[in-house]
Amino acid sequence: MRLALFGPPGAGKGTQAKRLARAHGLTHLSTGDLFRAAIRDQTPLGRQVEDLLQAGSLVPDDVTNDIVADRLAALGHGGFVLDGFPRTVAQAEWLLAYLAQADAPLDAVVSLQVPEEDLVQRLSRRRTDPETDAIYHLDFNPPPGDVPADRLVHRPDDQPDAIRHRLGVYHGETAPVEATLRAHTRYFEVDGTGSLDQVQERIEQAVATERGLTGI
């Protein structure tokens, strides 16, 4: 199964991508995670993109497409779930062409639907655990008691100014990708509100119905 999760910042792409990857043996490919790892390791890529991530602006398409190409090539024919890519029309066109020439098109794109006011609430209280890569929310998905609070990270782009900027970038540059995806892939809108289990079930059902299978 080759799947892409689409949606605004805070829609739950990372949370659901991890769950789907674990449940169905897929590789989770998050461009945001790849950039954050490069920043943490202070690689040349990390130094190049650090200020952009901090501000909540997009990394240039050619840089982003190159790292995705590297990862997809390393996967061979393995299944994957893309999270946070494509985010521009140019990235989407590049991805569709890349996968077509590899004879490995996307099986489905799932767009997570969450009201804008929920997004702000979700992002401002998001915390991540760098040791386990878990994604928490202080109210909706709190970290277990044995995770020390000082280990949790409040992402710099989850501060109010950067959140506002990222939502603007989403509406300006990413939302138009929907038309491209709708035209060229099996594209499903899935309600991204409710419990983590409910959202996962909705995604699995949408994709499974399409494939005529009982699971993905």
Catalytic machinery residues? 13, 87, 126, 155, 166
Distance in angstroms (rounded) separating the CA atoms of residues 212 and 216: 10
Is residue 29 within the footprint of ligand ADP (CB under 6 A)? Answer: no
Is residue 64 within the footprint of ligand ADP (CB under 6 A)? Answer: yes
Which lies closer to ligand ADP via its Cβ, residue 28 or residue 207?
Answer: 28
Hey, how many other C-beta atoms are within 10 angstroms of the C-beta on 2?
Answer: 20
Is residue 85 within the footprint of ligand ADP (CB under 6 A)? Answer: yes
* Window 148-187: residues binding ligand ADP (CB under 6 A): 157, 166
Is residue 19 within the footprint of ligand ADP (CB under 6 A)? Answer: no
Is residue 9 within the footprint of ligand ADP (CB under 6 A)? Answer: yes
Is residue 32 within the footprint of ligand ADP (CB under 6 A)? Answer: yes
Is residue 56 within the footprint of ligand ADP (CB under 6 A)? Answer: yes
Reduce the secondary structure of the chain to three states and give it as a string: CEEEEECCCCCCHHHHHHHHHHHHCCEEEEHHHHHHHHHHCCCHHHHHHHHHHHHCCCCCHHHHHHHHHHHHHHHCCCCEEEECCCCCHHHHHHHHHHHHHCCCCCCEEEEEECCHHHHHHHHHCEEEECCCCEEEECCCECCCCCCCHHHCECCHHHCHHHHHHHHHHHHHHHCCHHHHHHHHCCEEEEECCCCHHHHHHHHHHHHHHHHCCCCC
Which lies closer to ligand ADP via its Cβ, residue 10 or residue 185?
Answer: 10
Q: Which of 53, 67, 92, 106 lies at the binding interface for ligand ADP (CB under 6 A)?
A: 53
Least distance between ligand ADP and beta carbon 212 (Å): 27
Least distance between ligand ADP and beta carbon 150 (Å): 18
The piece of 19-27, 73-81, 181-189, 193-201 that touches ligand ADP (CB under 6 A) is 193-201
To 5 degrees, how large is the angle CA 166–CA 170–CA 176? 165
Which lies closer to ligand ADP via its Cβ, residue 2 or residue 122?
Answer: 122
Residues in contact with ligand ADP by CB under 6 A are 7, 9-15, 31-32, 35, 52-53, 56-59, 64, 84-85, 87, 91, 122, 126, 135-137, 140-141, 157, 166, 194, 196, 199
